[in-house]
Every structure is written in structure tokens, then in C-alpha cells.
Structure 1
Amino acid sequence: MPTPPPTGPLVTRGTVSAQLLSLGVRPGETLLLHSSLSSLGWVCGGAVAVVQGLLDTLGPDGTLVVPTQSGDLSDPALWSNPPVPEEWWSAIRAAMPAYDPLVTPARGVGVIPETVRTWPGALRSAHPQTSFAAIGPGAAAVVEGHAPDCRLGERSPLARLEEMGARVLLLGAGYDTCTAFHLAEYRIPSPLVEVGRPSPGGWEEVTEVSISSERFDELGSDFERDRPVVRGKVGAAGTRLFPVADAVAYAERWLALHRPREPYVDAAPRAREPRTRP
């Protein structure tokens, strides 16, 4: 059987830029992107063309930021997709390479962030599990100072993006991917958990704020109902554009009302989701 032709739409670097400008993305702004390449249609040039189109739109004064998480650098005892045998756990902890911002690939966030991570001139933050990468004149200000015990809180790029007046662009991605909502969890506050990971000195345990994207889709739906969110399309992908600060402020109020504060499963964005903690 011959392979059927693609259904499209045909998306190019130029159409990405033109449609982003029509959506309201402004040259010179700072943009936090969450994306799904497959949602766009048939993209001529793939992820490279999408990144080029984004950079064309932002211009030389704009800064593009993406999550480049590496949640697989985590305790194998918590892996469930797929799990690994318990007798492997100690060997995995001993052998797992430590985070290196230059070589550790992004996992579970799509091909566009990984393309940004390897882009000439891109900078990446230091957190070994929830890093961000950025391109543009504001990149250093975004990624510097990402504390090793603060995944997505006040000492992470999310707080810097909030201060800088950055906006979030959901490009074919849902609100469940919106990392800005996690910053609100640090302000409620949420429970603390022990997070295991490799380090240059060996396996380490770090106390962190528990984070979870549970009910983020519902939170996003209410946010969109109550606050100004620009909606449109790029190719076939539904898009949403809104300020980081608006998302964080709304999530602080919403999570306090709608999600209980007692300990819940810690579910940092990662390639392998954890088992339920005792």
C-alpha cells in the first residue's frame, strides 16, 4: 500500500511568522513557549522552521524561552512509564549521568524545545530536572540563578519571566503544559517532598516543593473564561497567548480554592511519571 499524502495544512517558516504576528506576538518581547510540532500540520523544515519563524517574529530584540526539562534524571523507584525492576534501582542511581546543561537532552517536552536547546547561542538554566533554555538578548537574565533546590519557584526562570513582563504562547499545547501555573504552587504554599537525582558528587536527595499539573486543564479553562487570553491558530494548531503574571496570579487564587493543600503525588514534568508516594 502506498503511503497516503499528508493532509496538511502546509506550514512554512514564513507562515509561522505571519500567523504569529497576526495573533499579536510582538517583536522585541519575551515569550515562554509550550508547543506541539505534530499539531501544526505538515511543516516544511520541521522544528527548525518553527524556531526560525518564532525568531523572525520576535526579531533581534526578542527572547524565546522554552522548558528543557530532564525529569528522567530522577529516582527509578518512582518510574512507572515504564517501571524498572527494583533490583536495578541501586545500579541505576550509581550509574546515571549527572546533569550537564550542554549535553543532557530535554525529555518529554517535544522536539521544538530540544531544537531551541541546541540552537547556536542558546543558554540553559542550571536546575538538573526542570531547566529552561533561551535565545535572545534577555536569555542570560532569564536562565541565570536557577537554584538547584527550586524547580519552578521564586529562584527559577519562571519568576524572572514574571518580572520581565513575558507572555506565554501555547502553540498546539494545552494548559496542562503551562509551567507558569507551577510558580503559584510555591506561593500557596504546597507540601514539601524529597527529590532524588544524580549529581557530580553522587546520588543526592533534595527537599523541594511538591508540584503537580493535576487539574491544570480545569484551571486553564477557568482562567480563559475570566481573564483576557488571545486565541488563534498557527497552521492547524490552536494557540493561546497571555501574560505570565496573569496566569500566576489567577492560579494562586484558583489552586487555593479548588485543590486541597494536604500532601499529594509529586508530579514534576518528566518523561516517566512517578508512582504514588506513600
Structure 2
Amino acid sequence: MWPGGPRLRRVYQSVPFTRAIIAEELRDLGVRTGSTLLVHASYRSVGFVAGGPQAVVHAFLDVLGPDGTLVVPTHTPDNTDPTGWCNPPVPETWWGPIRTQAPGFDPALTPSRWMGRLAETVRTWPGAVRSAHPHVSFAALGRHAEEITAGHRVDDALGDSSPLGAVYRLDGQVLLLGCGHDSNTSLHLAEWRQPAPPRGPRGAAIRRPDGTSEWITWVDVIENEEVFADLGVDLEATGAVAVGGVGLATARLMSQRAAVDFATTWIASHGAAQ
């Protein structure tokens, strides 16, 4: 264990963290050997780690063991309909070329965006597999990787047939490493489970088997993570979230089932899915 505890280490990091230290802190937090673990991470918040993101992924795999599975989001928000872009917006004259000229989503080639260095390290790790959703894919390593990533339908992006639903069925855990509940993708599963969630059109470029690209459209639930920070405060008040330190980062660990079940009721009672 790091000398001085988490409070002192946040004041001053005097020596590098290591694979062994990160693994020990994950175990202390409650990450279970053999479990399925969905990780959302800000790698920068962890501090200096000898070996960088590679060492952190090794630490996760050390703790999870050969029967465990590591899952990360590998989303591609730049492969969405440009009419809705606001970070930044693009001119209307660009919309057509973006739809027709963008390389289609390829699970093996298309990098994630805004998911962080740790997610990209897992995505490119030997043996990793990735789901085929052109907006909200997930990558996984380990025993249940194929089961989690298979059959990811475009019209059920974050619903029960998605990797989130698979993690739920496997009674997995969720780790928020250096980020808050506004990054907790599993809470979207609760939105998809509402009786009549709002739906709207979606679009993306996909890669066909012959190597050509095609722009496709479909209809799915319109997500709303704006309420997730408040939802997370109420979730933590129930005692369902273990909070501790991993490196310099504040880490939050929870049962995905417990979080999703709580969120499903919370969203319904707050009218957040209307």
C-alpha cells in the first residue's frame, strides 16, 4: 500500500505507482477475481505509473485473473450524423461529404474518440474483441469477451441486447476511475428499460464486407446523461458505491445490477426519460 494513504498521495506523488501497487489498490477497493469489470477511466487522474497505461491494464488483468473479463467503452461520436454536432459544429455544406466520404466503422480499425488512453490500450490489446455498433462499441478482454461484444444491434445501442445488458446478466461490476457518474454508461441501460423512452433517428457510416462504406439510418432511444450526476449522488447515498483511491484518482466501484436497478426506478420517478 502506498505510504501515507490516499490523502497524502494527492498532495505530492514522491515515487511512481507500479503495476503491483495499482493491483493491490483495486483489490482493496473490492474488484473481484473472476468478475466482469466495466471500466470508465481518466488515465491522467491516476498519476505517474511506471509503464503507463500498459502497466495499468496489466494490473486489471492481474486482479481479474484468467476467469475475469475487462470491458471498456470504445465509442466513436465522430461517426454520427453531423447535423447534430456541437463540439464543434460544422457547416451545413460539409454534411453531405461527411456522410458519403467517411470511412465506414470497422471494429478492427476505427479508433475510439474521447474515451481515454486506457480504453484505447485495451482496444488494441492482443486478444481484445470489439462490438460492431458504429456509435457506442465496447471492447473486452477475457473469458466472456465474445459473449459480451456479440450481437450489438444498431437499434438497441445501450439496451438489454447490448454489451451493457451482457454485463448485467453476468452480474458484473462498474469502476469509475477518476471520473463521475456522468461517465457511467451503464445508467443508460436504465433509460432503455423505461416503458416508453423518447426515440429519434440515428445515422452512421459502416464498412461493408467488400470494403466499401455506406451511410445507414435507424431509430433508437435518445439518451440523456444530463441527469446522471444527480442520480449518482442519490445512488451513493444508498451505500451501493465503494469509494477509494487508485493511484491519485478517486475510484468508485459498484455492482452494475444494483446501479441499473436503482437508476431504472430513479429515472421513472423523476420523469427523466420523458
TM-score (norm 2): 0.90
2:260 equivalent to 1:253: no
> 2:240·2:255 contact (CA, 8 Å) conserved in 1?
no
The whole-number CA distance in structure 1 between the counterparts of 2:126 and 2:13 is 30
The whole-number CA distance in structure 2 between the counterparts of 1:73 and 1:104 is 10
Which residue matches 1:182?
188
Which structure has greater helix proportion? 2
In structure 2, do the counterparts of structure 1 residues 260 and 213 end up closer, same or farther at CA, with 3 Å as the change threshold?
A: closer
Q: Which of 46, 56, 79 lines up with 1:40 in the alignment?
A: 46
2:96 equivalent to 1:90: yes
In structure 2, do the counterparts of structure 1 residues 124 and 16 end up closer, same or farther at CA, with 3 Å as the change threshold?
A: same
Shift of 1:7: 4.9
What residue ranges of structure 1 are gaps of 5+ in the alignment? 1-5, 263-278
Q: In structure 1, the residue corresponding to 2:79 is in which secondary structure? A: coil
TM-score (norm 1): 0.89
Which residue matches 2:165?
159
The CA deviation string for residues 41-64 of structure 1, in whole angstroms up to 9 with x for no partner, is 112221111111111111111110
Q: Which of 61, 81, 88 lines up with 2:67 in the alignment?
A: 61
Matching residue's letter, 1:19:
E
RMSD (CA atoms): 1.4
> 2:26·2:246 contact (CA, 8 Å) conserved in 1?
yes
2:236 equivalent to 1:231: no
> 1:7·1:42 contact (CA, 8 Å) conserved in 2?
no
Please, which moves more after superposition, 248-257 or 9-18?
Answer: 9-18
> 2:132·2:152 contact (CA, 8 Å) conserved in 1?
yes
Query: Counterparts in 2 of 1:213-228, with a 5 A limit?
Result: 213-228=225-240
Shift of 1:261: 3.9
2:177 equivalent to 1:193: no
Q: In structure 1, the residue corresponding to 2:252 is in which secondary structure? A: strand
Q: How many residues align?
A: 257
In structure 2, do the counterparts of structure 1 residues 261 and 141 end up closer, same or farther at CA, with 3 Å as the change threshold?
A: closer
2:86 equivalent to 1:80: yes
> 1:77·1:89 contact (CA, 8 Å) conserved in 2?
yes
Query: After TM superposition, where is structure 1 displaced by more than 4 Å over at least 4 residues in a row?
Result: none
The whole-number CA distance in structure 2 between the counterparts of 1:260 and 1:172 is 26
Which residue matches 1:29?
35
Matching residue's letter, 1:204:
I
Q: In structure 2, the residue corresponding to 1:215 is in which secondary structure? A: helix
Matching residue's letter, 1:196:
G
The whole-number CA distance in structure 2 between the counterparts of 1:202 and 1:63 is 33
2:13 equivalent to 1:8: yes
Shift of 1:74: 0.6
Q: In structure 2, the residue corresponding to 1:206 is in which secondary structure? A: strand
Matching residue's letter, 2:184:
C
> 2:191·2:273 contact (CA, 8 Å) conserved in 1?
no
What residue ranges of structure 2 are gaps of 5+ in the alignment? 1-10, 208-212
Matching residue's letter, 2:80:
S
The whole-number CA distance in structure 2 between the counterparts of 1:247 and 1:77 is 33
The CA deviation string for residues 181-206 of structure 1, in whole angstroms up to 9 with x for no partner, is 00011111310110111123521211
